[in-house]
Amino acid sequence: MNTRVIKKTSQALALFMFVSILLPVLALAAVHFENVVYNKYNRTVSGSVYSDTYNNVGDSVYLTTYASGSSILSATYATYNPSTSRYDFRLNWSKSVSSTTYDSVNLNVYFNSVFGATYSVNNSGKKSSPGGGGGGASTSTNGKIDATTGSVSAYELQRAFDVTNKVEITIKGEKLDLPLSALLDALKKYNNAQITVISDNGTYTLPLSVLNGDALAKSLSAEQKDVTVTVTIAKKAGEDVTKAVYALGAAPIAIAVDFNLTASAKGKTVSVDLGKTFVSRTLNVNKNVDSKKAAGVVYNETTKTLSFVPTTFETTDGKTVATLKRNSNSIYTVIESNKSFDDLASHWAQSDVELLANKLVVDGVTADEFQPDRSITRAEFAALVVRSLSLNAVTTNTYFTDVNSSAWYANTVASATYAGIINGYEDNTFRPDAEITREELAAMVVRAANYAGIETAVSSSKQAEVLSKFDDADSIVWAQAEVAAAINAGLVNGLTDSEIAPVSEATRAQAATMLKRFLTLADFID
């Protein structure tokens, strides 16, 4: 330890014993702490002290730092800030000084070698103080945090997660910074821990299970304790989104908002991969809506187009909120359409097809015709499934020998294959232009449901029970388990009470109806 520090400390203790007899009340009443923050993860404590009695006394103002009764730093000098008349300090210690990570530390301050006051502070928040306080947010005991400065400390998160696995954080601006290490600590406590960030632009609910701490730290070449996770809920400036809405013949009924999730450290930033987790975001809708005509959509900045996002609507006290669910971040808004097709009048699938058309899941063959009874190809149905799940495009196709990279369906087939929605044939072909059978249709819808987190599998005994109702069940070529699961989940019905027709070609109307059932089962539409 520095000789000067030891000498100062010894002098301080001796003088303290003497002076405290003479001026105990004066000293204690004259010294105050302000804005003290302790971070146990990077082993720092900072803040300011000042005295009503002792002013501008230079390096004779110093502090001792204790934890669990043991000294961490015996003396650290505070720097006088003439603009504030405060003594600013920032203490830090390495593992060589103390290998223990403390939940709280104590500070003793000395002015002119006279003991002034003690301050005890928890990790990034105060425990008790004769002077000022610290921190950038206020935490209630019910798991709700007001993050007025746009950041929340590890201590504040810890307090909130002490009482609930679902923490709500309200922000004033468009961004919120969170310490990754504290989020991972909460995930260790609750495997279903989540935070909901609430702003004037919308809300973002983040299941902490999507955070892969090791992968994020590695991608940033940093330690987990140094990584910051940032949630962004920002209005999208410009008219591009609005133009895309009107190009569809629709009307915008919510602002466009850019939802983003990133991690950063050492000046580097990476996007957080949500995997297969459908994260919920909400947008305020500016009118009461018919959920059959309204749709949540995502804006593609490259193509300047909009596509479907799984969305549900809820109206409370005259205010409608749209909840959009997707496993990727981007720019989102809500639109309203009213599409119809001349050849669907009185058709059994009219309501299902028009609903999905309004939500941009299905298209007409022309502006006025849907051709509901026409067969549908394997590539066409793959495209519908990809739209229903709002999957990002996979641009590299290395799966099938008969899928040309220049074909309109190349990226769609690659996306569906990557997600496990479709399989090829044994000869490594996909046969994109072949008409899809009802058996193949059922299998793809079941896989889509599984991707969305819906458990559809049935036991062998249940499978036999379900299929025994149909006289033609023996004609199922290979997808007995998938067909039984689809029937059991209510995704597929028989053509009659006793006929499933597994090898018959599926129609566009049947495909749309199965997708509507899937989206409803997954709570992706109302």
Pair (279, 144) in one structural domain: yes
Residue 53 Cα distances to 82, 111, 148, angstroms: 16, 9, 34
Q: What is the pTM of this model?
A: 0.75
DSSP string, 146-208: EETTSB--HHHHHHHHTT-SEEEEEESSSEEEEEHHHHHHHHHH-TT-EEEEE-SS-EEEEEG
Of 310, 336, 362, the residue that ends a domain is 336
Per-residue tokens: 267: 């000046």
Pull the structure tokens for residue 453. Answer: 């987190």
**Band of the pLDDT at 7, cuts 50, 70, 90?**
very low
Position 57 scores a pLDDT of 56
Tens digits of residue pLDDT in 215-227: 999 999 999 999 9
Looking at residue 372, its pLDDT comes to: 98
Q: For the segment 174-209, what is each residue's pLDDT rounded down to a tens digit?
A: 999 999 999 999 999 999 999 999 999 999 999 999
Whether residue 199 sits in one domain with residue 92: no
Confidence band for 130, pLDDT divided at 50, 70 and 90: very low
**Considering the domain boundaries, does residue 526 fall inside one?**
no
Q: What is the mean pLDDT of residues 261-283?
A: 97
Say yes or no: 104 and 145 in one domain. no
Tens digits of residue pLDDT in 476-497: 999 999 999 999 999 999 999 9
The encoded tokens of residue 264 equal 């950063």
pLDDT tops 80 at residue 173: yes
State which of 101, 128, 155 marks the end of a domain.
128
259 and 349, same domain (yes or no): no
What's the pLDDT score for residue 98? 66
Strand order in the sheet with 79-81: 31-39, 44-51, 86-92, 79-81
**Is the same domain home to 362 and 508?**
yes
The neighbour count for residue 138, using CB atoms within 10 Å, is 11
Q: Residues 50, 60: contact at Cβ < 8 Å? A: no
67 with 160, same domain: the answer is: no
**What's the confidence (pLDDT) of residue 397?**
64
What's the pLDDT score for residue 42?
75
**140 pLDDT higher than 60:** no
> Given a cut of 60, is residue 104 above it in pLDDT?
yes
CATH code (residue 150): 2.60.220
Percent of the chain with pLDDT over 90: 66
Phi, psi of 290 (to 5 degrees): -90, 115
φ and ψ at residue 354, rounded to 5 degrees: -65, -40
pLDDT value of position 141: 57
Q: What pLDDT, on the 0 to 100 scale, is given for residue 135?
A: 38
pLDDT in the model for residue 35: 81
| Confidence (pLDDT) at 38 | 84
In a domain, 201, yes or no: yes
Task: Compute the distance between CA of residue 144 and CA of residue 305 in angstroms, rounded to an integer.
Answer: 37
Both 395 and 279 in one domain: the answer is no
- The confidence band for 286, taking pLDDT boundaries of 50, 70 and 90, is very high
| Residue 258 within a domain | yes
pLDDT of residue 250: 97
Query: How far is Cα 125 from Cα 163, in angstroms, rounded to an integer?
Result: 17
Contact 130, 116 (CB under 8 A): no
Residue 21: predicted pLDDT: 33
The answer as to whether 384 is a domain residue is: yes
pLDDT in tens, 294-353: 999 999 999 999 999 999 999 988 899 999 999 999 999 999 999 999 999 999 999 999
Residue 12 has pLDDT above 60, yes or no: no
- pLDDT for 484: 97
User: By three-state DSSP, how is residue 83 classified?
Assistant: coil
Neighbouring residues of 75: CB distance < 8 A, sequence distance ≥ 6: 5, 8, 9, 12, 62, 63, 64
For residue 83, what pLDDT band results from cuts at 50, 70 and 90? confident
Q: Are residues 156 and 115 in the same domain?
A: no
**158 versus 268: which is more confidently predicted?**
268
**90: domain CATH number?**
2.60.40.1930
Number of domains making up the chain: 3
Closest C-alpha to 483, from 505, 501, 509, 510: 501
Domain-embedded: residue 202? yes
At residue 101 the predicted structure's pLDDT band, cuts being 50, 70 and 90, is confident
Asked if residues 128 and 141 have their Cβ atoms less than 8 Å apart, the reply is no
Q: Is residue 503 part of a domain?
A: yes
Pairing relation of β-strands 86-92 and 104-111? unpaired
The per-residue pLDDT of the chain, averaged, comes to: 86
Query: Looking at the structure, do residues 199 and 307 belong to the same domain, yes or no?
Result: yes
* Range(s) of the domain holding residue 321: 138-336
Q: Is 242 within the bounds of a domain?
A: yes
SS3 category, 415: helix
Q: Are residues 367 and 322 in the same domain?
A: no
Split at pLDDT 50, 70, 90, the class of 357 is very high
Q: With bands split at pLDDT 50, 70 and 90, how would you rate the model's confidence at 14?
A: very low
Is the per-residue pLDDT at 134 higher than 80? no
pLDDT score of 137? 54
Beta bridge partners of 106: 66, 120
Higher-pLDDT residue of 342 and 88 is 342
For range 34-52, the mean pLDDT:
80
What per-residue confidence (pLDDT) applies to 110? Answer: 74
Same domain, 296 and 349: no
Whether residue 54 has pLDDT greater than 70: no
The residue out of 292, 317, 336 marking a domain boundary is 336
- Stated as kind and residue range, the H or E segment containing 195 is strand 194-198
Note whether residue 133 is domain-resident: no
Same domain, 277 and 183: yes
Provide the pLDDT for residue 37: 84
